[in-house]
Structure 1
Amino acid sequence: MRIETLALILSLWFTASANPLFWGVALAGRSLSEPSSIFYAIALGVALTALHFVLLAVLATLVPRPTVRALLAFLAAGTAVATYFMQGYHVYLDPGMVRNVLATDPREAGELLSYAMVLPIAVRLLPPLALIYAVDIRSQPALNAIGVRVACVAVALLVGVGALMTSFKDFSAFMRGNKEARYLITPANLLYSSVRVAIADGAAKQTRQPVGTDAVLGPGWADRTKPVLLVVVVGETARAANWGLSGYARQTTPQLAALDVINFPKVTACGTSTEVSLPCMLSAVGRRAYDEERIRNSEALPHVLAHAGWRVVWLDNQSGCKGTCDGLETWRPEPAAMPAICPDGNCFDSALVSGARTLTAGRAENTVLFLHMIGNHGPNYAKRYPAEFRHFTPTCETADLGRCTQQEIVNTFDNALRYTDHVLAQTIAFLKEKQATHDTAMIFVSDHGESLGEYGLYLHGMPYAVAPSVQKEVPMVMWVSDQYRSSFSLNTDCLRARAVEPVAHDHLFHSVLGLLDIRSGIYDSRYDLASACTAPLQSDANAKSRRSIERSSPSARTDEPYA
């Protein structure tokens, strides 16, 4: 069999078996009993087949002939796995999702594996695999092979474009209203997104652009007698819709409700995945002027604090800081050293509080600890909390969400939130213990939200433009000790009034600098939540420098980073 013939058969198979989500979106609201809908579906099928044929033909040309069979087998396997997870969790395979997959550590990946996935993946994988290894690929002179390949690609392009032109009105209307649907076309989405990520990561600078190197302590520090200990807790996958302090019907935050915390009920995340949100929320530009390359190649908030002379430590119970703590002190829990908190080798988030105690014991210096939680990371929410926090029942005890009812999934998610509430209360208790030697404060904010079955969607990571609000709206809480209020002249009643207004991840960077009275040209008082709540008010002496920075920044954009 010629390579072109094999590529065509595989393309037909992918069109028929690997695109259930795309077909569902493309044919939504249409009746296949109508001739126009049948004609439209055939045109789309021809176009998809032509697209995949062109991609396979180009790939086969770019690799040595002896490796073509292995390449096609690898692509077939990747397509089968991608289709299974896309259909199971209704996710879009855009560059952000591919980056999430590549950044997933073995522990998280292991939770996604189950015996239930073997059969559906095998059904999609074995037929093309059998074909790939059952046929002999016909050999021919190089020039003839290239000529035939070019001719076949040209014909495929003409056929594909021609098919779309026959239903151009319907197709153009569909794409205008569903731009993100291109990330449902499999395996084209897998190939495109993987190449985009590879190019972006390959172009990433090894040395990050310095940010805030002029950072210094403000004049108010001349009168302070104690160092500061600030804990910034970066939550994982906690969504505002289920946050008890923000009006959720269930009390998922009972311990925080009993404490004097300031809750921010209307917070919008930078993105819908950790890979996007974490670097974005710790950057000076945030989403209001989003530039992925600039953010990934620049220093982040932890570096600016270090420039100001502070001790900065990143404590991680997840998949790393995504470059935001490069070159700084880091800490991870060691399961063998704390078996009670890490019963199966995977640590609960209270291990971070234990780490904070260890790292600050006997040290009196200005310190910021970043606690990166595993939080509500799905799909196996039941593994995020100890058994005693199984408050809402029945629960979903598997990562295969298709085997659970939506109520079981919500119950399990809410139990994990109650454990996050417990860990935050533990953190505040720890900070109260440190008040003899430090002025203490805590900020908690989640990186993104989560879908729990609404509209048939699960997990997170959808393209920002089409993501539901539950993936973009997150909880945020602040706590400050009495000594901190006094030392920094912070009016918490004013801050509490400010908290009811809409805020975003963009406020985190500048609010931390403002709360710590750190001066830098990168600081922007407009994004400091406490800038109007200190007496005397924070000086804006750096406005001229800030305007200079803004003039050198890219134009503000609010579009999806990968759109």
Structure 2
Amino acid sequence: MNTTVLPMPGSTRVRMRSVWQWRPQVTVELLAMLASVYLALTANAAFWQAAIPNGAQQWRLAISLFLLLFGLHGLLLGLLLGRAWARPMLAVLLAVTAGASYYMQSYGVYLDADMLRNVLHTDWAESRELLTPGLVQHLLLHAGLPILVLWRLKLVRRSLPQGLLVRAGFLLLMWVVMMLGAAISFKDLSSLVRNQHHVRYLVTPANYLYGLGRLATSSSALKGAALLPVGEDAHQVPAAAARKPRLLVLVVGETVRAQNWGLSGYPRQTTPELARLPVVNFHDTRACGSSTEVSLPCMFSALGRQDYDEGKIRSQQSLLHVLQGAGVDVLWRDNQSGCKGVCRDLPFESVATAKDPQLCDGLRCLDEILLRDLPTRRVNDAGDRLIVLHMLGNHGPSYFQRYPAAFKRFQPACENPDLGSCSRTEIVNAYDNAVLYTDHVLARAIDQLQSVQDYDTALLYLSDHGESLGENGLYLHGMPHLIAPEQQLQVPLMMWFSPAFTAQTGLDMDCVGERSRQPTSHDTLFSTVLGLFDVQTSVHRPARDLLLACRTTSAGQPAGSP
């Protein structure tokens, strides 16, 4: 005869009560060690994939790296955590690290200082697009559960002398663990550091803690300091008053890569409207960087990538300041997150939050908003004018939100900001639709400039950087420049000149066409624009002026010649 034993009604409640009353005591040092093991195993998937591509075959290197990660994060936590704030600080660290690891694994990004600057300067409209269900699930699993456990722990109290002594011993132990890790596989470790030194930007959370420290140091050095003057000798020859004034619209694109630019030979015609216009397309143009935070200051700097020095670039005046000093009226009109310091203390106009029911949804505006009420009328005796239009362009991951319904030409298109939920074909289709809309906006801008009476007009379009669309498992942009793929560095460069502008500046368009087939880069923007406005200055570099050899004065000499 079988007998079924039923649980007592109160037994489950007793067990639940005992679990809830579970409050083990641990020292801060033990908590730091447990957290270090957890972070090494759960927050560094991207690091392990890059550093140990052959898995178990590299077991010695894997042990070495684990000990290094364990010791490194133990050292960091040992320096940061005190008993009074250990739990809240560690909870924040777990949440931020879980978010960082999600984006690193999902999009293949590296958390160096430049990427962190991008993150810190991201506005709500950009952030909202990155808050996907996949992120929420990852946070709940990798941060929510350990934080619940963390809050059940009780931390042991110690006297101050005892606490200082134990903490010093703990830090010494972590240092010894790191040295042991380095010794176990020193040869393989040296090879990894030498050949893949950027892999350090995948070590989480050490990567963003170090990056934030660097940014804080550099920001404090620049805070409140006036920009160092550049090109103080700049002047126009001949002066704008001796001729009809010029208007150059400089359109800074966002995240458009050359590989998907129809004018550059992409099999799909993503630039049909520009193809019908007399534009000159430069087929091989390289960006200063793979992110807006790097490229914008760099491309408007006299230094450029060839003489790249981040500190100098961010502390000096830009091309716009030189032009303003030479008498050229300057305006930056923005449909993004600002000019990244390029237009500091200069006229700035944001249209990103305009109230236009046709072009804006309350958080974002389509790029045609940049053309609304474009100031192309001459005011009083104003001379030459430069208007910079900073586009939203192909800013990812929500490519499908960058164009109106009329431009849904390539289907099916990914309509989810979580790119992992879409096929690569769907992602490319959405991206190409956004390029198609950029083509339309540029063509409309040229059409407006053709009807301007007060100025001789021209337009120059240059994208700030490219984009990865799944190649080699990479998405979006922002890879360190030295290892960034071509998709993130090759960008479109396109020019249009009105017949009057061409005649007045003596531009030989056949020569310009020949020049467009030669390699170029963002480094040429500074001197090329100075040349188009007849600005002579010691910071103008003839070798970087794309159009110098194609431009003559009425005397038949190259512009800018003595």
When normalised by structure 2's length, the TM-score is: 0.92
SS of equivalent residue, structure 1 residue 395: coil
SS of equivalent residue, structure 2 residue 333: strand
2:47–2:202 CA contact under 8 A, matched in 1: yes
Structure 2 residue 536 is matched with structure 1 residue 500: no
Which one is further off, 348-357 or 4-13? 348-357
Shift of 1:309: 1.4
**Aligned amino acid, residue 441 of structure 1:** A
Question: 1:311 pairs with 329, 334, 343, which one?
Answer: 329
* C-alpha distance after superposition, 1:143-187 (max 9, x if no partner): 221221111111111112112211111111122111110001111
CA separation in 2, counterparts of 1:417 and 1:515? 27
Structure 2 residue 475 is matched with structure 1 residue 488: no
Structure 2 residue 210 is matched with structure 1 residue 189: no
Partner in structure 2 of residue 70 of structure 1: 88
Partner in structure 2 of residue 168 of structure 1: 186
Relative to structure 1, the CA distance from residue 376 to residue 25 in structure 2 (aligned partners, 3 Å threshold; closer, same or farther) is: same
Shift of 1:114: 2.0
1:272–1:460 CA contact under 8 A, matched in 2: yes
Structure 2 residue 22 is matched with structure 1 residue 21: no
Give ranges in structure 1 of 5+ residues lacking alignment. 542-563
Partner in structure 2 of residue 426 of structure 1: 444
Structure 2 residue 232 is matched with structure 1 residue 213: yes
| Alignment of structure 1 residues 116-195 onto 2, 5 Å | 116-195=134-213
Shift of 1:349: 0.5
CA separation in 2, counterparts of 1:341 and 1:205? 36
Structure 2 residue 486 is matched with structure 1 residue 461: no
CA separation in 2, counterparts of 1:365 and 1:149? 68
SS of equivalent residue, structure 2 residue 35: helix
**Aligned amino acid, residue 184 of structure 2:** T
**Aligned amino acid, residue 443 of structure 1:** L
Shift of 1:116: 2.9
CA separation in 1, counterparts of 2:370 and 2:156? 59
**Aligned amino acid, residue 233 of structure 2:** D
2:370–2:389 CA contact under 8 A, matched in 1: yes
Shift of 1:321: 0.2
Partner in structure 1 of residue 76 of structure 2: 55
* C-alpha distance after superposition, 1:259-288 (max 9, x if no partner): 000101100100000000000000011011
1:378–1:459 CA contact under 8 A, matched in 2: yes
**Over 4 Å off, 4+ runs:** 220-223, 361-364
Question: 1:532 pairs with 521, 525, 549, which one?
Answer: 549
Shift of 1:360: 3.8
CA separation in 2, counterparts of 1:74 and 1:514? 52
Identical aligned residues as a percent: 45
Shift of 1:355: 4.0
SS of equivalent residue, structure 1 residue 347: coil
2:352–2:364 CA contact under 8 A, matched in 1: no
Question: 1:417 pairs with 420, 424, 435, which one?
Answer: 435
CA separation in 2, counterparts of 1:477 and 1:205? 36
CA separation in 2, counterparts of 1:236 and 1:189? 26
* C-alpha distance after superposition, 1:497-553 (max 9, x if no partner): 111101010000000000111111211111101111112202344xxxxxxxxxxxx
CA separation in 2, counterparts of 1:339 and 1:396? 24
**Aligned amino acid, residue 495 of structure 2:** M
Partner in structure 2 of residue 256 of structure 1: 274
Give me the CA root mean square deviation. 1.5
Shift of 1:361: 7.1
Give ranges in structure 2 of 5+ residues lacking alignment. 1-25
* C-alpha distance after superposition, 1:101-135 (max 9, x if no partner): 00111111111112232111211102321232111
Say which one has the larger Rg: 2
* C-alpha distance after superposition, 1:434-463 (max 9, x if no partner): 1x2110001100000000000000000001
1:314–1:369 CA contact under 8 A, matched in 2: yes
Structure 2 residue 382 is matched with structure 1 residue 389: no
1:10–1:128 CA contact under 8 A, matched in 2: no
| Alignment of structure 1 residues 239-278 onto 2, 5 Å | 239-278=257-296
When normalised by structure 1's length, the TM-score is: 0.92
CA separation in 2, counterparts of 1:334 and 1:280? 23
Relative to structure 1, the CA distance from residue 175 to residue 334 in structure 2 (aligned partners, 3 Å threshold; closer, same or farther) is: closer
CA separation in 2, counterparts of 1:171 and 1:128? 31
Which one is further off, 143-152 or 185-194? 143-152
